A and B are shown apart, each in its own frame.
Chain A
């Protein structure tokens, strides 16, 4: 059967290839390949644990904060360090800022172009655009000026980053006025993601590649001049999320409601948990640790439940190991979907092909919250259950959380999570101010030993990230990373079971295999 290939898949971090079989305009099988190997884990061996904090985050320039936190936590767990309260709050704020940056950028600037056509926006009637923005309750701009700008850009004939794409695809079905609104917010999102990252820079020196959440806490001391810079910016970003991201999601959803019927993937959801409470207990994090199958929470989950298979991966390392014993030795043979076809290992949780990311976190938090857990730390915020139930109601899907397990659910979950995080970010800043007022804030704690083994299991915007470390005599003698993308773009495991994104492609309708827009939507929904 002829196959449809997308390589490179663009608007993602890194290099990825997608190959599918389409029968009667529907995907019947899929293979996803990671096509870059750099060897991070090997580079880290024999170095100091704090060097791993600085180097390992460079595995991903889009979610380096989360990798740096996972690495620091791995070292802290190995060397028996408990970070002080001030360090916890500063890290939470830093992590929030990165999430807000990442989710805004993802919706408008990465996956946005799968739904929104800036070319079609040229046909918008300006008065109707204002009326639509008003009706949708979304943010207004000088739509006339933006239309003029787009026209000048299009008439020039050089479409730069928009060139070569199939804007004539029937999947671009939004009214021109909504395209214009969303394009206007595309431009504003470029500004707002940068504002969120200014918070990262204040706390951690710069984005990409943060400097301060070193093992033991943080090197950043929040002085008064820095606190107001942080608070003001987070308020501004929250306003954008409330007045653009959320209403735009609700405005676009009715035009893509069929996306609630496919693209759901495996339905197994893992979250390591993110945003610490004072007790530093992973199961009690704001977005808690958990594993759900069939929208039911398992009794528990731990990094010990992870296995990595290599039967279909370009490694000669043994297959079926937990990363505490894992090895990474690359051996490229050839690209062959029947044999080996990816530099990604097949990570499995409880031997299940498992989705990670905002949908997984929101499902786990939703179920935990329904089970009575406090996911707000007592604060008055929009919680996952409130957000999800409210959105289902707004779309006429009340009482049907199962529709979350779909392409549309995955898109919506990320944006709803952004709303939750915009709220709790301010809670953390206020807690930090209170701690500073009390004069009790401590930020960093030294290690008392130079030997041990540990895991830091945390969540990046795009999913679960864990670093396993072994330290002996102050030097790293073991290091393994299972990144979000390791989960998401996993190839088949030794039992031939598809990875979560591969499974997500199966059943997806494809109108035109030469212009596989629907596949881009599904791939981008995972934000690999």
Chain B
């Protein structure tokens, strides 16, 4: 099949009714998302317009709910996003591909054989029941194939892996105590198997599609189709955690623009926090006024994602904007570390120079008025509250101890 350039991307744009102006606007948006200056937009446009052949990609689903695929379908500016998706030739994408059964499996095999592809992985890696908690398709002898075997084969041959969503990052809710199906994240699994293919992690449940698109464009634009250059040129932050199944320390790469600051740092309701104006009951007049949700359990102060800036569903809203406290789905082991979700934090992990501090001292930093307000609201002024590595909930001590007795949170 002809694989050469298929003409300027403009033709494609034009037939989709996308104007040159909209296209450049989109490039500026990509620049902003990547943390580049507006001046980079023409360069991005030029790279996109080169009209190289589609980059082959596989989108595999592990122990997933398909929420990340759904989220991908909600990507902004769909006309242009379609282009971006079409810049990738998704030879396998379980939820939307035409082919099924043997024909679908053949698409994977062929892509692996050809090499030079990107692997996107959604969902947890399922290791329970000897790897039989997920079986997909058939081996040559007709017996079912384990999900882990498919991932290992594909990841070995891929240039890079994008782990999308909390489940692919570290097992997500599926790995929450007691992790009945033996779920783990992609990086932990690749470490265990000795597969060195680089992995970039996109957090949250589901992941935000804009963050994925930005990584893809980064690959096409800056990385010259080379994983080493990609790692060198992309601003990454790492987080380390201990995997509950292997017991090994796992180091995760995240794009810095996604996890560089807390939700609390960028929250539009931050002003109300500082003024001591809180929602104390759901659906109340305070909510109608957009007050701070800290008192009903918001995990924004300890959750490092860009949600308030990127927002969700083509930027129309995000969790806090709709009146719900952040449940910290962008964090590690997010269910165990953040539930009970409606209990407020007894300590706040603040980014930067503040480190881990009590809300009282934050209030002291941000101003005397706020401190007074916090006292008035009886908010989190108790100094203690953390037990071991358990969740830092004020009223969860007994609950934590019980879990610790059972082997602790993973």
Binding site for B on A (CB under 8 A): 5-15, 17, 35-39, 42-43, 46-48, 50-51, 54-55, 58-62, 64, 84, 86-87, 105, 109-110, 113, 142, 145-146, 148-149, 152-153, 155-167, 187, 190-191, 193-194, 197-198, 200-209, 211-212, 214, 216-221, 223, 229, 314, 330-332, 335, 442-444, 446, 475, 516, 520
Contacts and interface: CB of A to CB of B under 8 A. Distances in A.
The 7 closest A-B pairs by CB, nearest first: A61-B67, A443-B283, A39-B180, A211-B324, A157-B1, A201-B313, A444-B283
A60 B70 CA distance: 10
A138 B318 CA distance: 35
Interface residues of B, number: 104
A193 B75 CA distance: 11
Given A142-B17, A190-B78, A206-B71, 14 more contacts: A5-B102, A11-B100, A35-B135, A36-B134, A38-B183, A46-B403, A60-B65, A61-B71, A110-B95, A113-B98, A152-B11, A156-B6, A160-B91, A164-B99
Nearest to A229: B316
Contacts of B31: none
B322 A204 contact: yes
Contacts of B136: 7-8, 15, 35
B97 A10 contact: yes
Contact of B327 (A38, A165, A211): A211
Nearest to A445: B283
Nearest to A47: B339
Given A38-B133, A161-B93, A5 B101 contact: yes
A522 B3 CA distance: 36
Interface string B79-112: 0001001101111011111111111111100000
Given A8-B94, A62-B70, A221 B288 contact: yes
Interface of B: 1-3, 6-7, 11-12, 14-17, 53-54, 56, 61, 63-71, 73-74, 78, 82, 85-86, 88-91, 93-107, 124, 126, 128-130, 132-138, 143-144, 147, 172-174, 176-181, 183, 205-206, 281-284, 287-288, 312-314, 316-324, 327, 329, 335, 339-342, 399, 402-403
Contact of B206 (A37, A55, A156, A208): A208
Given A10-B94, A142-B17, A211-B324, A156 B53 contact: yes
Contacts of B327: 54, 211
B283 A217 contact: yes
Q: Tell me which of A6, A14, A37, A208 has the highest count of chain B C-beta atoms within 10 A of its own C-beta.
A: A208
Contact of B318 (A105, A163, A205): A205
Contacts of A48: 339-342
Nearest to B68: A61
19 contacts: A8-B136, A10-B100, A38-B133, A42-B180, A48-B342, A51-B339, A54-B341, A61-B67, A145-B15, A145-B17, A153-B86, A157-B3, A158-B3, A158-B53, A160-B91, A190-B78, A201-B313, A206-B317, A208-B67
Nearest to A9: B100
Contact of A43 (B74, B173, B282, B402): B173
A201 B65 contact: no
B1 A64 contact: no
A15 to B, nearest CB: 6
A159 B2 CA distance: 11
Given A9-B100, A443-B282, A335 B135 contact: yes
A206 B124 contact: no
A164 B319 CA distance: 39
A146 B91 CA distance: 22
A50 B342 contact: yes
Contact of A205 (B98, B102, B312): B312
A64 B129 contact: no
B397 to A, nearest CB: 14
A60 to B, nearest CB: 5
Given A43-B180, A194-B73, A58 B205 contact: yes
A79 to B, nearest CB: 14
Contacts of A165: 97-99, 103
A187 B82 contact: yes
A364 B174 CA distance: 36
A129 B336 CA distance: 56
A202 B132 contact: no
B96 A11 contact: yes
A356 to B, nearest CB: 19
Contacts of B2: 155-157
A60 B313 contact: no
Given A54-B341, A219-B324, A62 B174 contact: no
Nearest to B283: A443
A149 B339 CA distance: 49
A38 B138 CA distance: 21
A166 B101 CA distance: 12
Contact of A221 (B69, B98, B283, B340): B283
B316 to A, nearest CB: 5
A332 B283 contact: no
Contacts of A60: 65-67
A219 B287 contact: yes
Contact of B66 (A61, A145, A163, A187): A61
Contacts of A331: 129
A206 B283 contact: no
A172 to B, nearest CB: 11
A273 B177 CA distance: 33
A442 B78 CA distance: 37
Given A211-B327, A220-B322, A61 B64 contact: yes
A314 B181 CA distance: 13
A233 to B, nearest CB: 9
Given A7-B136, A61-B66, A207-B70, A164 B341 contact: no
B322 A38 contact: no
A167 B342 CA distance: 52
Given A8-B101, A42-B180, A208 B70 contact: yes
A59 to B, nearest CB: 6
A220 B283 contact: yes
Given A8-B101, A50-B342, A446-B281, A163 B89 contact: yes
Contacts of B128: 37, 39, 330
A52 to B, nearest CB: 10
A5 to B, nearest CB: 7
A524 to B, nearest CB: 10
A168 to B, nearest CB: 12
A320 to B, nearest CB: 22
Nearest to A202: B317
Q: Tell me which of A58, A155, A216, A475 has the highest count of chain B C-beta atoms within 10 A of its own C-beta.
A: A58
Given A13-B95, A145-B17, A205-B324, A43 B177 contact: yes
A343 to B, nearest CB: 8
B76 to A, nearest CB: 9
A61 B100 contact: no
A205 B183 contact: no
B313 A11 contact: no
Contacts of A162: 97-98
